[in-house]
Structure 1
């Protein structure tokens, strides 16, 4: 049994962490922090977690006694607390962007923060870094868009069968966080699809940096906000550079992800559905269609709060402590 702390437990990702860990046989939640809701019961903020008897606490990092801490904190905030947690012999899974980049200049350019406490972290995408995660003290949980995009692109990049790649992703409103903004306010986002940060979104460089370890493709990325609560649908467009078939591509994906517990390869032409992965830690990848111009189209679907955040974070924790990888996160999606 390991002791778990969650810093920033009142947000959507904090709530999902609490949901999964509450059912984990190897963990005990000893701290769930929130300045705003200090002293209040968890269910006052997360009404579906009424069987959790713990309360929010306004704790400093040095007041937490845990084996692992999840930092579900804003970008720029994690770097101020993660080093202290590590110095106090706690492992950390950070859900912010503060430690995702190998290139600090890229992080500082796209996030606008000076990295004041650089610490070596392992990028927490289990499908590519499983063995490194097992030995890590600090895991940088991937961004939600990059998770769906990287998984959709990896096999074709690794096999060098396409030229440059264009990624079109559409995310549910929960990806904007628990605090409403003008863009996520219901009357403004309902009945509409809105591209944003069209060529400058901070997740574009993250996708590019991680895929560059497998191939030399240039990657262009544009996100969209769609009027659903959960989910990211990613459509990847690329042009093949050799004479291959759709079925060949699909078989390549099946081989690449063989044995991966949370990646499902659909049939050729089958389109992933957000409802099929909603609430789950699964990624569905499908399409594999090639048009008459040699354009290959691949699509992936994930839940942005689970595989794109908290579920993946728990997966990383399971690897770090030698637990069964799928423990507490191996549920199917909520369709319809």
Structure 2
């Protein structure tokens, strides 16, 4: 059994992570840290934890067991302070914020507006997308967990770019997320009456995840990828659906595209490519750690349309963190993770 602690335990991602970890056969939850609810029981905040072992929420900054594996579920900017001392003490760490996702910290500073104060630790961080960096994650002590929009988008595009099937310029990602993607905050824009029955775009045209998607796809494909990313807020609790448009290279057929996806995802336990012409829906993935991808080709325009779906709280955050945890500790990659969606 591996002792784990979660810092930032009462946000939606932290709570989802604790839910998954509580069912993991190789995990003992040691501490759950919450600045906002210290001293309360976890089930006082989330009643779904009532059947589980009683867990008291603790103040941040407390001591952890020497062998604790620590998950950071903190707002962007706070992990820059929290991660370095944990790593110095020898803890293995997975960070779920955006603070250590960039190879080039100048890009992070430009798009997040935060001075990067942990550049040494940033060089140690492995980008935790197991489909492409699983071998590196297995050897890592520090993993930076990709976010929901980025995971959904990169998995849709990486095989096509790596195989030279689409043009690296002019890519458009039209993505929609459930309201939990905004976090557990009291803000008018995310209240029930503002979101129910509504649908809107936001952060157009410079959402900060644009830069992360571009950097990772450029690294994977060894090309200078330039794209337009537009996020939208769906009136649902969870799930992401990204519709991606790209220009096909001459001579590329649906069979070529299928072969490219199979090359990279045939052995990936959580990334599934549907037969040509069948497109995924949120109910295919919500409740699971899966990413489902479907595509169609438009001969009239020379474009490919790719639809990629994930559960933003699972494969887009907490589930992928557990997937990385498994790899870092020698467990089977799928241990403790849901592989079948709720559907309803």
Give the TM-score normalised by structure 2.
0.95
Q: Distance in 2 between matches of 1:38 and 1:64?
A: 19
User: For structure 1, which segment, 244-253 or 225-234, has the greater mean C-alpha deviation from structure 2 after superposition?
Assistant: 244-253
Name the residue aligned to 1:94: 95
Give CA deviations for 1:167-211 in whole Å, capped at 9, x if unaligned: 111000000001132221221122222111111111000000000
Aligned to 1:105: 106
**Shift in alpha-carbon separation, 1:230–1:256, aligned structure 2, 3 A:** same
Partner of 1:262: 270
Q: Please name the residue that 2:29 is paired with.
A: 29
Q: 1:65 offset after TM fit, Å?
A: 4.2
> Which residue of 2 is the match for residue 124 of structure 1?
128
Q: Which range moves more in the overlay, 300-309 or 265-274? A: 265-274
Matched, 1:207 2:213: yes
Q: Which residue of 2 aligns with 1:192?
A: 198
In 2: Cα distance, 1:232 partner to 1:178 partner: 17
The residue that corresponds to 1:134 in the other structure is: 138
Cα distance in 1 for residues equivalent to 2:29 and 2:67: 9
- CA–CA distance in 1 between the matches of 2:142 and 2:117? 16
8 A Cα contact 1:245 1:290, kept in partner = no
Q: What secondary structure sits across from 1:170 in the alignment? A: strand
How many residue pairs get aligned? The number is 336
Q: Name the CA distance, whole Å, in 2 between partners of 1:190 and 1:59.
A: 35
1:244 equivalent to 2:258? Answer: no
Residues 18-38 of structure 1: CA deviation (Å, up to 9, x unaligned): 111111111110000012211
Q: CA deviation at 1:287?
A: 2.2
Deviates more, 1:53-62 or 1:218-227: 53-62
SS in structure 2 opposite 1:157?
Answer: helix
Measured after TM superposition, the shift of residue 257 of structure 1 is 0.7
Identify the range of structure 1 (45-54 vs 103-112) with the bigger mean alpha-carbon deviation.
Answer: 45-54
Structure 2 Cα separation of the partners of residues 110 and 182 of structure 1: 24
TM-score between the two structures when normalised by the length of structure 1:
0.97
Measured in 2, the distance between the counterparts of 1:48 and 1:327 equals: 22
Does the 8 A contact of 2:156 with 2:293 survive in 1?
Answer: yes
**CA displacement 1:42-73 (0-9 Å, x = unmatched):** 11112111113111111415455443100000
How far is the alpha carbon of 1:116 from its aligned partner? 1.0
* Runs of 5+ unmatched residues, structure 1: none
Secondary structure of 1:32 counterpart: strand
CA contact (8 A) 2:277 2:295 kept: yes
Could you say what secondary structure the match of 1:268 adopts? coil
Decide whether the 8 Å contact of 2:5 with 2:64 is kept in 1: no
Q: Distance in 1 between matches of 2:298 and 2:262?
A: 17
Of 142, 147, 152, which residue of structure 1 is paired with 2:156? 152
- Note if contact 1:123-1:129 (Cα within 8 Å) is conserved in structure 2: yes
The residue number in structure 1 matching 2:235 is: 227
Q: Secondary structure at the match of 1:142?
A: coil
Does structure 1 residue 69 correspond to structure 2 residue 77? no
Q: CA RMSD in A?
A: 1.3
Q: Deviations over 1:240-285 (max 9, x none)?
A: 1211222321232122211000001101111111111111100000
* 2:10 equivalent in structure 1: 10
Q: Is the 8 A contact 1:124 1:316 kept in 2?
A: yes
1:167–1:236 Cα contact (<8 Å) kept: yes
Any idea what SS the aligned residue of 2:230 has?
strand
Contact 1:30/1:66 (<8 A) preserved? no
Structure 2 unmatched ranges of 5 or more: none
